[in-house]
Amino acid sequence: MGVTYGYDMKGGDTFVTSMQRASNIFLGIATPEVFALCIAFPFVKALPAWFPGMGWKSKAAECRRLVSDGLNTPYAWVKRRVEQGDATPSMVADAIIRHRLDDDSNNPELVQAIKESAGTLYAASVETTHATLLVFVYLMMNHPEVQCRAQAEIDRVVAHQRLPDFEDRASLPYVDAVLRETMRCHPVGPMGVPHATTEDDVYEGCYIPQGECRRRLRAMSHDEEKYPNPEVFMPERFLREDGTLNEDKVPYMFGFGRRICPGRHVGDASLWSAMVCILTLFRIEKTEGSDNVKWSTGLARHPLPFPCRFIPRDEEMDCQKLASLIYASRIAL
């Protein structure tokens, strides 16, 4: 919200809850089964919501309303701040000022593009970051040897004196390898975001019919020729023999071409920051019930809430010391 709108979030914030509710509904109903049904039998899109099996349509209507609110309300708030002269620098504020959008009616298409880009940046970054961090905790819990190696690397760089910051990233290749392998091993959007072609097309001998273009990110991330033993969580696959990172940044996880995720840089930085700080401060261990993890279904796939233990690595860590470290880290980041 800060990067996109220059907005300082607060608990129970309507800006946030509206978009989060829309995202939860969309991810819940945008399942492969629903897509397959609509593609195979297009007439179902004309059936009323009360028709048996069409309950998802009422949720889709609510999602559409929430998305409209989520796009228009934050934009209007930023525009008022710009007019008052006290807008915080952000993507939307900069766009309004740069394009001199004093009157939205002068360029409605550009205004709509700014609203949709901002909404996509926020929603995609938040949802994928949250889901990927759940996967990360799940993997660290089940792979203590990876966790220990990453923590040993961090300890060599910061020596227990502070939390790592972005200037340390180049010195922490194994942590970056853990991030890449987390995204590869369990992609949170295994089917990618649905897109549609405006006309029939042929790409490298592959026929793509009008109105359809799907990509299977999980199939790409589990290609045995590129990633031997793809089901095994192995961050070393992203390291060269000398311990430096290779060129594979799993870029396909953020989409392709003109439709690539606009929040990819924010998402990557947020994930790295969260992962390295968690590894610096805590040891993640299994507890009772940790072996019975269930996974979500739908467009996004991640572990549902599961029990585990976060144990401070510093025996003298207390709330005050933790707060001071986090505060100092926020200033540095």
Please enumerate, by residue number, every residue annotated as part of a binding site. 261
Residues in the annotated binding site for heme: 261
CA distances from 35 to 25, 29, 49 (A): 15, 9, 16
Is the CB of residue 266 less than 8 Å from the CB of residue 272?
Answer: no
Helices (DSSP H) in the chain: which residue ranges? Answer: 2-5, 14-29, 32-40, 56-84, 91-98, 108-142, 144-158, 173-185, 217-221, 264-281, 319-332
Strand, coil or helix: 282: strand
Residue type for position 227: Y
The residues, any chain, with a CB within 8 Å of residue 303's CB and separated by 6 or more, are 134, 135, 137, 138, 293, 294, 295, 296
Strand, coil or helix: 203: strand
The residues, any chain, with a CB within 8 Å of residue 258's CB and separated by 6 or more, are none
Residue type for position 50: W
Q: Which long-range contacts (CB under 8 A, 24 or more apart) does 26-29 make?
A: 26/63, 26/299, 27/127, 27/296, 27/298, 27/299, 27/300, 28/59, 28/298, 29/56, 29/59, 29/60, 29/63, 29/298
